[in-house]
């Protein structure tokens, strides 16, 4: 994990004693290594160069201070999936024109909020949503830039991933129906079709697998552009870059991914149909998850039927996935690295037996 160190039995994050931070700020809390996050943004920008625009996926962590930090570190914009995330993006200082809105369940109120705010692009996920965006934009007397999220026919992720594309999906418009959606967009007066968006899955740890999905997306964009007789101006590869949750999980090779993706895009843009293509990517957890800690305090220790319990002031309501999926690494901040002691079960403050692990 980046920015973390153990010194004389104490846990440190970016040079900050975690136990002292707990006393200073209170618990439970999320503690992030700001310098490491800024360095991570710099790493992904350097690996992708000027050929790929980087949009922070706010769903990974919508905390205003953290979003401001990532904005100031040099990302091109923000990707949102709700009105709440739009508010977070705006309060963090992102220019509305640099905000992309994705997600299959956008309500009319959310679309109205986005269009009224004049965000940069709405990625529609059905023809019905396309018509709704046009109707709402008409009420506001404006033309809204839209992308079309494609559910691709090809599937390069294989089994066992968090899937958001390929096969029957709630996400996007099936590739076989995208040409009709583009033609519909061209007939509507209050939307402007500017590109395609796709994302096959999330929490991908294999860089080669992710590169294969990007290569397939470029081929798909060329096919769709030719079939629809339009110039595809932009292609959003989505996110999905994963982070290790367990000690034996591999680390996503960001430098290799960036280098190879730039080579793949450069080659693809030699074809006339993709010559002017803007390419985008939406990293989320890869920018934040490895640079933060969830910190909770032991408030009681007890025994029950021969088992020891340490009761914490935080639990599954604040760290649901890591705890319930048993996908977490843990340390005692004021006894870091010290061996021995009595094994205990951990219990959170919620009145449910699910809040223990």
Bond before 237 cis per omega within 30 degrees: no
Question: Taking a C-beta distance cutoff of 8 angstroms, is the pair 101, 78 a contact?
Answer: no
Question: Taking a C-beta distance cutoff of 8 angstroms, is the pair 140, 165 a contact?
Answer: no
The stretch 189-202 carries a mean pLDDT of: 90
Report yes or no on 239 lying in a domain.
yes
Report yes or no on 114 lying in a domain.
yes
Structure tokens of 175? 């590739």
pLDDT at 300 over 60: yes
Beta carbons within 8 Å of 312's beta carbon, 6+ residues apart = 28, 296, 297, 298, 299, 346, 347, 348, 349
Q: Are residues 249 and 116 in the same domain?
A: yes
Q: Are residues 81 and 219 in the same domain?
A: yes
Report yes or no on 355 lying in a domain.
no
Separation CA 278–CA 280 (nearest Å): 7
The pLDDT value recorded for residue 163 is: 46
Q: Are residues 99 and 49 in the same domain?
A: yes
Q: Identify the domain containing residue 301 by its residue range.
A: 4-28+297-347
What is the distance between the terminal CA atoms of the chain, rounded to a whole angstrom? Answer: 22
Q: Are residues 218 and 340 in the same domain?
A: no
Tell me which of 290, 309, 336 is where a domain ends: 290
What tens digit of pLDDT does each residue of 83-93 get?
Answer: 999 999 999 99
Structure tokens of 171? 């996400």
The pLDDT value recorded for residue 157 is: 46
State the average pLDDT for the chain: 90
Q: Are residues 215 and 113 in the same domain?
A: yes
Report yes or no on 353 lying in a domain.
no
The stretch 174-197 carries a mean pLDDT of: 96
Question: Taking a C-beta distance cutoff of 8 angstroms, is the pair 207, 256 a contact?
Answer: yes
Tell me which of 290, 307, 330 is where a domain ends: 290
What's the CATH number where 56 sits?
3.20.20.10
The pLDDT value recorded for residue 237 is: 95
pLDDT at 62 over 60: yes
pLDDT bracket for residue 159 (50, 70, 90)? very low
What tens digit of pLDDT does each residue of 120-135 get?
Answer: 999 999 999 999 999 9
For residue 4, the cross-strand partners are 13
- Based on the structure, what is the number of domains in the chain? 2
Q: Are residues 325 and 185 in the same domain?
A: no
Q: Are residues 115 and 242 in the same domain?
A: yes
Q: Which of 104, 3, 11, 40 is nearest to 285 (CA)?
A: 40
The pLDDT value recorded for residue 154 is: 66
Structure tokens of 221? 């964009």
Report yes or no on 357 lying in a domain.
no
The pLDDT value recorded for residue 156 is: 52
As a whole-number percent, the residues of the chain with pLDDT over 90 amount to: 71
What tens digit of pLDDT does each residue of 216-275 get?
Answer: 999 999 999 999 999 899 999 998 888 887 778 888 888 999 999 999 999 999 888 888
Q: Are residues 15 and 77 in the same domain?
A: no
pLDDT bracket for residue 316 (50, 70, 90)? confident
Q: Are residues 146 and 269 in the same domain?
A: yes
Q: Are residues 44 and 152 in the same domain?
A: yes
pLDDT bracket for residue 325 (50, 70, 90)? low
Q: Are residues 111 and 10 in the same domain?
A: no
Question: Taking a C-beta distance cutoff of 8 angstroms, is the pair 268, 311 a contact?
Answer: no
Question: Taking a C-beta distance cutoff of 8 angstroms, is the pair 197, 158 a contact?
Answer: no
The pLDDT value recorded for residue 106 is: 96
């Amino acid at each position: 994990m980046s920015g973390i160190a153990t010194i004389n039995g104490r846990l440190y994050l970016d040079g900050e004693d975690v136990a002292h931070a707990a006393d200073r700020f209170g618990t439970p809390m999320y503690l992030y290594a700001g310098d490491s996050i800024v360095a991570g943004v710099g790493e992904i920008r350097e690996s992708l160069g000027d050929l790929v625009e980087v949009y922070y996926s706010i769903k990974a962590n919508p905390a205003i201070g953290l979003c401001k930090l990532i904005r100031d570190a040099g990302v091109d914009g923000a990707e949102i999936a709700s009105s709440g995330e739009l508010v977070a993006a705006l309060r963090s200082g992102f220019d509305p024109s640099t905000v992309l809105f994705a997600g299959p369940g956008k309500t009319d109120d959310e679309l109205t909020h986005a269009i009224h705010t004049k965000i940069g692009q709405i990625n529609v996920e059905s023809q019905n949503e396309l018509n709704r965006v046009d109707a709402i934009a008409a009420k506001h007397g404006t033309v809204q830039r839209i992308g079309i999220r494609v559910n691709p026919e090809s599937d390069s992720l294989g089994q066992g991933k968090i899937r958001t594309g390929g096969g029957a999906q709630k996400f996007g418009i099936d590739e076989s129906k995208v040409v009709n959606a583009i033609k519909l967009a061209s007939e509507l007066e209050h939307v402007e079709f500017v590109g395609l968006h796709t994302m096959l899955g999330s929490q991908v740890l294999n860089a080669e697998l992710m590169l294969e999905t990007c290569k397939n997306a470029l081929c798909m964009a060329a096919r769709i552009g030719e079939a629809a007789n339009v110039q595809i101006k932009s292609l959003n590869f989505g996110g999905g870059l994963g982070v290790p949750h367990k000690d034996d999980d591999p680390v996503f090779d960001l430098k290799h991914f960036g280098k190879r993706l730039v080579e793949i895009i450069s080659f693809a843009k030699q074809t006339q149909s993709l010559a002017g293509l803007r390419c985008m990517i939406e990293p989320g957890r890869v920018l934040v998850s490895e640079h933060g800690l969830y910190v909770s305090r032991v408030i009681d220790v007890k025994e029950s039927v021969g088992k020891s319990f340490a009761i914490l002031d935080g639990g599954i309501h604040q760290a649901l996935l890591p705890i319930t999926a048993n996908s977490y690494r843990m340390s005692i901040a004021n006894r870091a690295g010290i061996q021995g002691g009595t094994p205990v079960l951990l219990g959170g403050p919620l009145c449910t037996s699910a809040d223990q692990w």
